[in-house]
Amino acid sequence: MNGEPIRKIVIVGGGTAGWMAAAAIAKILGEFPGLSIQLVESDAIGTVGVGEATIPQILSFHKLLEIDENEFVRETHATYKLGIEFVDWLRPGHSYVHPFGTYGLDMLGIEFHHFWLRGQEAGETVPLDPYSIGAAAGRAGKFFWPQLNNPRSPLSKLAYAFQFDARLYAAFLRRRAEAHGVIRLEGKVIQVHQDGETGFVESVELEDGSRIEGELFIDCSGFRSLLLGQALQVPFEDWSKWLPCDRAVAVPCTLGGDRQPLTRSTARPAGWQWRIPLQHRIGNGHVYSSAHMEQDKATDLLLANLDGEPLAEPNHLRFTAGHRAQFWEKNVVALGLAGGFLEPLESTAIHLVQSSIARFMAFFPTTAFGEQERLRFNRDTRREYVDIRDFLVLHYKSTERDDSEFWRYCRNLPPPDGLAEKMAIFEGSGRVVREHDEFFTEPSWLAVMAGQGITPKGYHPVAGMLDEAETKKRLEHIRQVIAQAVSQMPTQEDFLQQQGSAI
């Protein structure tokens, strides 16, 4: 760029990342005079075909795009999601929910869980789930919208996300992006042309010899990382030491089993299996470590644990946990799998696309690519990856499982520094600490630390001000209030029917 504003944005790739970027950029910058946004994708290559569970932040992305929720749910065959159920992660036979939203009701100005810990000390054995409206409703198969303007209602503590058909979601976003002027080009990129001096990307060349020129390129080419990784040679920072799973096998199946508004993750001998129930089918996959399990065995294990009949041949995927050393290099910004990958244990990848789009829009270059802005973008994006990585490692590290070589490796692995400190503080005093504007909030850390069996030695002294009998009485009252609220909620199926968003 020579002091001229950006006129041509080229997005390479039309998976979830590409169409999210196209829809958002067109919505924000679409009215900019003379700006063109082109997206090139290859039907022959296709998309990764997975990525169907989300977290509540997606609601703000939909708000930005002014998406009508009922229309979106109907068109993407989506279901609601109140959290993730972790089965067999602590030990076989055990299960807990990491709910969205918070626990309990407000008590004496300190976090609810200190009273829960006080109750445990006094002999209570009820786990955290019944104190969360999200976990309780999720387990009961119920759904209703949060009542945020009524803080006295347990429904004010509810938060939700969606589970949707990835292919339909990309198509849904495509329609919105095209309505805002995005031009879609079909074709396979075979070469990336760079300026001989600066190394900035000038154009991408398609198989038919045509060139698409631009001033800014968004690399959404998936694991290939065509521009950032291949053309600009930005190296990959490998985190497989902490997250050894490097394969997945995915297969959709017909509906069967329960219809809870929860994603389920079930621990397996060399990884874990996901279950994502949609309106018309269930998405399933087995994430595993190839150092600890052969592909055939991993596939058999998945197929033996479906709630319905398989609807397609198993889709095998390979990956490495980690990210590119820079996400924004020269005039290329990578989103989605082109920038990095963290296994979908907490359904965070689509959010990473969304937050990178928001961050880049905030730094969108006016007439030049600012170096300070680029460094800051890369630092903040990496920080988000680190936050998520540490949270994922917690699930593997804090477990009683030692029934396979994989689990023995995971539980004996020294955790990253930030995580080690968090675990030690929770274990010592029941305090949940959260750095800076960290991605996962205190209730999330609590859910997984407690769910994975970390037992604190203490709790906040304020919780000790109530005597044992009063503590138990109040805890029981909270459970009752939540159970009562859940009993009045419709089932998810009824809710979808009532909203006209059932397919």
Any known ligand binding at 15?
yes
Q: Does 446 bind ligand FAD (CB under 6 A)?
A: no
Q: Interaction with ligand FAD in 404-433: which residues (CB under 6 A)?
A: none
Q: Least distance to ligand FAD from the beta carbon of 353, Å? A: 6
To the question of whether residue 14 is assigned a binding role by annotation, the answer is: yes
Does an H or E element contain 323, and which? strand 322-324
Which one of the spans 27-35, 76-84, 344-352, 462-470 is the region binding ligand FAD (CB under 6 A)? 344-352
| Cβ–Cβ < 8 Å for 84, 265 | yes
CA distance 306 to 251: 9
What is the contact mask toward ligand FAD in residues 284 to 303, using x (rule: CB under 6 A)? -x------------------
Out of 9, 10, 11, 16, the residue judged to bind ligand FAD by CB under 6 A:
16
Min dist. Cβ of residue 104 to ligand FAD (A): 28
SS (H, E, C) 241-262: CCCCCCEEEEEEECCCCCCCCC
Q: Has 81 been annotated as catalytic?
A: yes
Tell me the C-alpha to C-alpha distance, in Å, between residue 50 and each of 123, 173, 226, 248, 490: 44, 16, 20, 10, 29
Q: For ligand FAD, which is the closer residue by CB, 14 or 430?
A: 14
- 349 sits near ligand FAD (criterion: CB under 6 A): yes
Backbone angles phi, psi at 273, to 5 degrees: -120, 135
Calculate helix-pair angle for 371-397, 442-451, nearest 10 degrees: 30
Lookup result for tokens 């939700």: 160
Q: How many residues bind ligand FAD (CB under 6 A)?
A: 38
Residue in 69, 310, 269, 20 with CA at minimum distance from that of residue 169: 20
Specify the residue, 50 or 105, whose C-beta has the smaller distance to ligand FAD: 50
Are the beta carbons of 185 and 203 closer than 8 angstroms?
no
Contacts for 357 with CB less than 8 Å, ≥ 6 apart = 20, 21, 24, 25, 335
At residue 159, the 3 state secondary structure works out as coil
Name the residue nearer to ligand FAD (CB basis): 226 or 232.
226
Question: Hey, is 334 helix, strand or coil?
Answer: strand
d(CA 405, CA 409): 6
Considering the complex, what minimum distance in angstroms separates the CB of residue 21 from ligand FAD?
9
Sheet hosting strand 95-99, strand order edge to edge: 95-99, 83-87, 263-268, 271-277, 282-288, 247-253, 315-318
347 binds ligand FAD (CB under 6 A): yes
Percentages helix, strand, coil for the chain, rounded to the nearest 5? 40, 20, 40
Q: Is 340 helix (H, G, I), strand (E, B) or coil?
A: strand
Tell me the closest approach of the beta carbon of residue 22 to ligand FAD, in angstroms: 11
Confirm or deny that 283 is annotated as ligand binding: no
Stretch that binds ligand FAD, among 13-21, 191-199, 295-303, 407-415 (CB under 6 A): 13-21
Q: Residue 73 in contact with residue 162, Cβ under 8 Å?
A: yes
Min dist. Cβ of residue 186 to ligand FAD (A)? 9
User: Which tokens hold the place of 472?
Assistant: 């138990």
- 345, 392 Cβ separation under 8 angstroms: yes
Residues of this chain, 35-94, that bind ligand FAD according to CB under 6 A:
40-42, 45-48, 50-54
Annotated binding residue 350: yes
* 344 binds ligand FAD per the rule CB under 6 A: yes
CB closer to ligand FAD out of 170 and 486: 170
| 346 labelled ligand-binding | yes
Our CB check for ligand FAD shows the closer of 81 and 113 to be 81
Between 128 and 350, CB nearer to ligand FAD? 350
Distance CA 265, CA 262 (A): 10
Which residues in the 94-133 window bind ligand FAD by CB under 6 A? none
CB-nearer residue toward ligand FAD: 50 or 182 = 50
CB of 352 to ligand FAD, least distance (A): 7
The one segment of 81-89, 107-115, 221-229, 463-471 that binds ligand FAD by CB under 6 A: 221-229
From the candidates 8, 27, 63, 81, give the one annotated as an active-site residue: 81
Of 155 and 334, the one with the shorter C-beta distance to ligand FAD is 334
Is 337 annotated in a binding site? The answer is yes
| 155 touches ligand FAD by CB under 6 A | no
Cα 103 versus chain centre, distance: 21
User: CA-CA distance, 450 to 112, in Å (whole number)?
Assistant: 13
Asked if residue 166 lies in contact with residue 281, where contact means CB atoms within 8 angstroms, the answer is: no
Q: Which two tokens stand for residue 148?
A: 């945020």
**Segment 170-209, which members bind ligand FAD (CB under 6 A)?**
188-189
Q: What are phi and psi of 392, to 5 degrees?
A: -65, -45
Give first-to-last CA distance, the chain, whole Å: 48
Q: 17 a known binding residue?
A: yes
According to CB under 6 A, which one of 192, 248, 253, 267 is a site residue for ligand FAD? 248
Please report the beta strands in 94-171, taking only residues with DSSP state E, as ranges in sequence order: 95-99, 161-163
Establish if 354 lies at the interface with ligand FAD (CB under 6 A). no
CB of 335 to ligand FAD, least distance (A): 7
| Minimum distance from residue 445 beta carbon to ligand FAD (Å) | 20
Q: Pick out the residues of the known binding site.
A: 14-17, 81, 189, 337, 346, 350
Binding residue numbers for 7-chloro-L-tryptophan: 81
Binding residues for FAD: 14-17, 189, 337, 350
- Report, as residue numbers or ranges, the catalytic residues: 81
Binding residues (CB under 6 A) for ligand FAD: these are 13-18, 40-42, 45-48, 50-54, 166, 188-189, 220-222, 224, 226, 248, 250, 285, 317, 319, 336-338, 344, 347, 349-350
